[in-house]
């Protein structure tokens, strides 16, 4: 039986609409707006550009290593990182210095036998790291954690805890992309009105009781 992971969305503020006490805060997953209607083939992104040969090679090796342990790489993840026009989009939009960190080897889940982690992004100080969480005969999900890549103990109760944050990679990528674009817009004194896609997302918070 699969372990029931705790859930939360880890992110920074959205201006006055969603305050954040630190660089990041964990928000209940049920408190963030649904994005499912926006998903499907990364149509919210621009041109995918040319194939990224280095990433394709790394992903091929990763897929072989995952096949050896009986799990598979989700198609949306492989598609996103296979094209130059998409692969760096999360790095570019990040306001907290997050960057892509792909590797060809999975890691055993420390909380569930038979489950595997594939790291794909960390923030610049390794405060938070995001992973694919892969199980046999189960859809891939995205999780985040503080401390899994580090080799020392920490007194923080969240150190090493794995949190489910998205039911698919595209869901994670879209929410991350939208929220970081909103942050940039809200903190730019010269920005005009929010684009409709961003305004629709932020409207969820504007309607919440204060």
Average pLDDT, the chain: 91
Which range, of 60-64, 120-124, 188-192, averages the lowest pLDDT?
188-192
Instruction: Determine the average pLDDT of the residues in 23-44.
Output: 95
Residue 20: C-alpha distances to residues 15, 50, 167 (Å): 8, 38, 24
And the tokens for 92?
A: 């570019």
Name the pairing type of β-strands 6-7 and 129-135.
unpaired
Domain ranges for the chain: 6-206
pLDDT, position 153: 46
Q: φ, ψ for residue 164 (rounded to 5)?
A: -70, 130
Helix (H) / strand (E) containing 116 = strand 115-122
What distance in Å separates the CA atoms of residue 66 and residue 61, rounded to the nearest whole number?
9
Q: Where are the beta strands (DSSP E) in 123-207?
A: 129-135, 141-145, 162-166
pLDDT, position 85: 96
Confidence of residue 150 (pLDDT cuts 50, 70, 90): very low
Percent of the chain with pLDDT over 90: 81
pLDDT, position 111: 87
């Amino acid at each position: 039986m699969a372990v029931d992971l705790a859930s939360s969305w880890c992110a920074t503020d959205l201006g006055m609409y969603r305050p954040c006490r630190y660089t990041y805060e964990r928000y209940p997953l049920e408190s963030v707006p649904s994005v499912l209607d926006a998903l499907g083939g990364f149509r919210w992104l621009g041109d995918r550009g040319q194939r990224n040969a280095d990433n394709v090679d790394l992903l091929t090796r990763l897929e072989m290593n995952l096949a050896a342990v009986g799990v598979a790489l989700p198609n949306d993840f492989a598609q996103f990182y296979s094209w130059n026009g998409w692969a760096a989009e999360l790095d570019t939009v990040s306001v907290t210095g997050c960057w892509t960190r792909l590797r060809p080897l999975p890691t055993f889940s420390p909380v569930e036998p038979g489950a595997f982690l594939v790291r794909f992004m960390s923030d610049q100080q390794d405060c938070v790291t995001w992973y694919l969480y892969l199980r046999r005969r189960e859809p891939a999900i995205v999780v985040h954690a503080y401390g899994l890549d580090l080799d020392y103990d920490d007194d923080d109760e969240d150190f090493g805890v794995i949190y489910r944050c998205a039911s698919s990679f595209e869901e994670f990528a879209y929410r991350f992309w939208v929220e970081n674009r909103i942050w940039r817009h809200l903190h730019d004194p010269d920005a005009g009105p929010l684009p409709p896609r961003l305004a629709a997302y932020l409207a969820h918070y504007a309607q919440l009781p204060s």
